[in-house]
Amino acid sequence: MILKNRQQSYLKSPTINRLLGGFALLLLSSCSEQAVEKLEGAAQGTTYHISYWSQTPVDSKAIADSITARFASLDKTLSNYRPDSTIETFNSTETTDSLAVGPEIVQLVRIARTVYEASAACYDLSIKPLFELWGFRGESLTIPDDTTLSNTLARIGMNKLEVVDDTHLRKTQADLKIDLSSIAQGYSVAAISAVLEQHGISNYLVEIGGELKTLGQKPNATAWRVAVERPLPNQQVMHKIISLPKDSAMAVMTSGTYRHYFDANGIRYSHILDARSGRPVSHDLVSVSVIYPDPTIADAWSTALLCLGQAEGLKAANTAKIPALFIQQQDQNLLETKSDALTALTTVVFH
Percentage of the chain surpassing pLDDT 90?
A: 72
Residue 132 falls within a domain, yes or no? Answer: yes
Task: Give yes or no for a contact between 175 and 209, defined as CB atoms under 8 angstroms apart.
Answer: no
The band of 228, judged by pLDDT with boundaries at 50, 70 and 90, is confident
Residue 110 falls within a domain, yes or no? Answer: yes
Residue 35 falls within a domain, yes or no? Answer: no
Task: Look up the CATH number of the domain holding residue 181.
Answer: 3.10.520.10
Domain interval for residue 279? 59-202+240-351
The whole-number pLDDT of residue 247 equals 92
The whole-number pLDDT of residue 262 equals 64
Least confident window among 57-66, 88-97, 127-136: 127-136
- Residue 202 burial class via C-beta count within 10 angstroms: exposed 0-12, middle 13-18, buried 19 and up: middle
pLDDT at 137 over 90: no
Residue 275 falls within a domain, yes or no? Answer: yes
Residue 320 falls within a domain, yes or no? Answer: yes
The band of 28, judged by pLDDT with boundaries at 50, 70 and 90, is very low
Distances (CA, A) of 54 to 35, 57, 276, 318: 9, 7, 48, 37
- What average pLDDT does the structure give for the chain? 87
Domain count, the chain: 1
Q: Which residues contact 326 (CB under 8 A, 6 or more apart)?
A: 285, 287, 288, 305, 310, 313, 314, 336, 337, 338, 339
Alpha helices in 127-282 (DSSP H): 128-134, 146-153, 184-198
Residue 69 falls within a domain, yes or no? Answer: yes
Residue 299 falls within a domain, yes or no? Answer: yes
The whole-number pLDDT of residue 258 equals 65
pLDDT at 31 over 70: no
**Rounded distance between C-alpha atoms, residue 153 and residue 174, angstroms:** 15
Residue 74 falls within a domain, yes or no? Answer: yes
pLDDT at 46 over 50: yes
